[in-house]
Chain A
């Protein structure tokens, strides 16, 4: 018997080993592309960078810097970004929920065709999406052009572009179609006879919505929150393209520390701090919904 046969036999005998072997491609992927880079990031966050050289000093100065550098500018930027992502979350849910509600409860034919059509915007990449909005609400965009043409405004409105609200607006527009999906799933799961029962017990349409539909679709709402809140925390493409100097977000600060500032350890600390806060928020959300319900709605 050859050695390879012996090894194969050994693997077949040990259940743990065989499961491990089966999982190994996935494990490899996670270890090499997630855990190792993350580990490097953690290590860097305790180092120092002088010029282009990384020096292992092993202290917490970068984390202190997160709170104190430039008079606490970074932590204020963080809070601002948090507020912006919260606003984006609320805005995109407010936009998407009625759509999900309509598709789920009012449309009978071609429900899924409508859902697929909603995914249309994702056929173009995010950068094009942002620049597309620039053509609509930018300084020389469609709205300003039409406004001037119709004599509604005498000169282009500059408040629509290059500031934080442009960033929030575009993020809302970009995220809303995605959110229709989890909320649709949640609404679809509601047994329609519950609404009939509520009607039978004297509940008018608005009461039925508030007492039955809304609470029962809350898992979808929380999944949606999860979907938007966490990724928009670290958003940097949209503010870079549409935010100007007033629309900078925390993600841009991280970006800058790794590029123009040449401060990798500080950037690492910023990233780790963001990750910790995201983890806390995620944990709270999962606690509220329950992991099982969350997975069901995905």
Chain B
């Protein structure tokens, strides 16, 4: 069996009457990049802070590397936290920052120096030992923060929205960098974010959270293609959702006296469902009659993005649908009436 680095068993956290985290359980495999994804206030940061030991769970057990850490102080836990604002010590230079955790371990000086150098190589900033923290750029601060958090060779590295303060370009750069560093050091990462793009780009597994509960756990692809609920579908990959009632391989729409052919699904007849279709799976055109599902639509907005075109269309029954198409030299104009359609295999049914 694979080793688990993090296990949460029925963990609940209350602040007064407010339930921040509501009876969640999950486990993270060793060496995995695991993301807690959800909107702000969903309890993801509280979960992370409980892992770090900065908050105590009201109920439940937390294991890190098979050790029950529920009663272990933060400074004795085999995990380190990468802070949202990085929190580099402003009165220390780069090497003093990275060495801090090692000095607390009372390692010999020569070993500390060696490790600092090694870490600076890992994060791609060799020779930065003597730099002041003020002299670092945003991306460099992040890298040094990661080096500092990895210095003590934690079992698990906890990251709390580390890329939040960065601009888009730098964020994309750091996503790739983070994933690279994670692969190089092989440490288990638990990553908290509200940004589905970050989660999808880096994670091996994602737990989607809402209102203190975990809605779905699974691989990135699973969450993307088979969102369990409408919430997950909307949050990840910005699916189009059309609500209706399932019956014998079809979903009868709420707003329209028509149905979407879905093929057989493991859903009880007459259940309310959300039909979830990814923007990139929908075809748009004047002549697409050979698809399983075809509807009339009017183009409301057109966004040309170079390689892709994003159409916002109003489908019959007043459904707003987003479509992503590869640009092949043709753009439909705003206001044009045409048809949109998709195959039944491109449909996934989620709980509403």
| A contacts, CB < 8 Å to B | 191, 193-194, 196-204, 207, 211-212, 215-216
Complex partner residue of A194 from B75, B89, B101, B105, CB under 8 angstroms: B89
- Check A200 against B80 for contact (C-beta < 8 Å): yes
Residues on B with beta carbons closer than 8 Å to the beta carbon of A200: 52, 54, 74-75, 80-81, 149
Contact of A199 among B75, B91, B148 (CB under 8 A): B75
Select which of A193, A202, A204 is within 8 A of B87 by beta carbon: A193
Query: Is the pair A201, B101 in contact by a Cβ cutoff of 8 Å?
Result: yes
Q: Contacts A193-B85, A197-B87, A216-B91: A204 and B75 contacting too (C-beta < 8 A)?
A: yes
- Report how many residues on chain B are interfacial, defined by Cβ distance under 8 Å: 22
- Contact mask B109-135 → A, CB, 8 Å, 1/0? 000000000000000000000000000
Q: How far is the CB of A229 from chain B (nearest CB, A)?
A: 24
* B90 and A196 within 8 A (CB): no
> How far, in angstroms, from A191 to B87 measured CA to CA in the complex?
8
Q: Is B152 an interface residue (CB 8 A)?
A: yes
Contact of B91 among A202, A207, A215 (CB under 8 A): A215
Q: Taking the nearest CB of chain A, how far is it from the CB of B39, in angstroms?
A: 22
Across the A-B interface, the 10 shortest Cβ-Cβ residue pairs: A201-B101, A202-B104, A197-B87, A193-B87, A202-B75, A200-B81, A199-B74, A215-B91, A194-B87, A203-B104
Bound-complex Cα distance A199 to B90 (A)? 16
**Distance in angstroms between the alpha carbons of A196 and B85 in the assembled complex:** 12
Known pairs A199-B74, A202-B75; A211 contacts B100 (CB<8 A): yes
Residues 69-102 of B, flagged 1 when their CB comes within 8 A of A and 0 if not, give 0000011100011011101011100000000110
Known interface pairs A193-B84, A216-B90; 16 further A-B residue pairs with C-beta atoms within 8 A, sorted by A's residue number: A193-B85, A193-B87, A194-B89, A194-B90, A198-B89, A199-B75, A200-B149, A201-B75, A201-B104, A201-B148, A202-B76, A202-B101, A202-B104, A202-B105, A202-B152, A204-B75
Provide 30 A-B residue pairs closer than 8 Å at the C-beta atoms, listed in order of the A residue: A191-B85, A191-B87, A193-B85, A196-B54, A196-B81, A196-B83, A197-B81, A197-B83, A197-B87, A197-B89, A198-B89, A198-B100, A199-B75, A200-B54, A200-B80, A200-B81, A201-B75, A201-B80, A201-B101, A201-B104, A201-B149, A201-B151, A202-B76, A202-B101, A202-B105, A203-B100, A203-B104, A207-B104, A211-B100, A215-B91
In the assembled complex, which residues on chain B have CB atoms less than 8 Å from the CB atom of A198? 89, 100
Task: Determine how close the nearest CB of chain A comes to the CB of B322; give it in whole angstroms.
Answer: 38
Q: Counting chain B CB atoms within 10 Å of each CB, which of A191, A197, A200, A212 scores highest?
A: A200
Chain B residues, CB < 8 A from A215: 91
One digit per residue, 1 when the CB lies within 8 angstroms of any chain A CB and 0 when it does not, for chain B 277-296 equals 00000000000000000000
Report yes or no: B87 in contact with A201, Cβ–Cβ below 8 A. Answer: no
A193 contacts B83, C-beta separation under 8 Å: yes
Q: Which has the most chain A C-beta neighbours within 10 Å: B52, B75, B80, B105?
A: B75
The interface residues of chain B lying within 8 Å CB-to-CB of A193 are 83-85, 87
The smallest C-beta distance from A50 to any residue of chain B, in angstroms, reads 59
Beta-carbon contact of A201 and B83 below 8 Å: no
Query: Are the C-beta atoms of B87 and A196 separated by less than 8 Å?
Result: yes
Residue numbers in A under 8 Å from B76 (CB-CB): 202
CB distance from B72 to the nearest CB of A (A): 12
Cβ–Cβ contact A212 & B104, under 8 A: no
CB-contacts of B229-269 with A (<8 A): none
A191-B85 Cα distance, complex, nearest whole Å: 10
Residues in B neighbouring A207, C-beta threshold 8 A: 104
A197: nearest chain-B partner, CB-CB: B87
Cα distance A41–B90 in the bound complex, in angstroms? 46
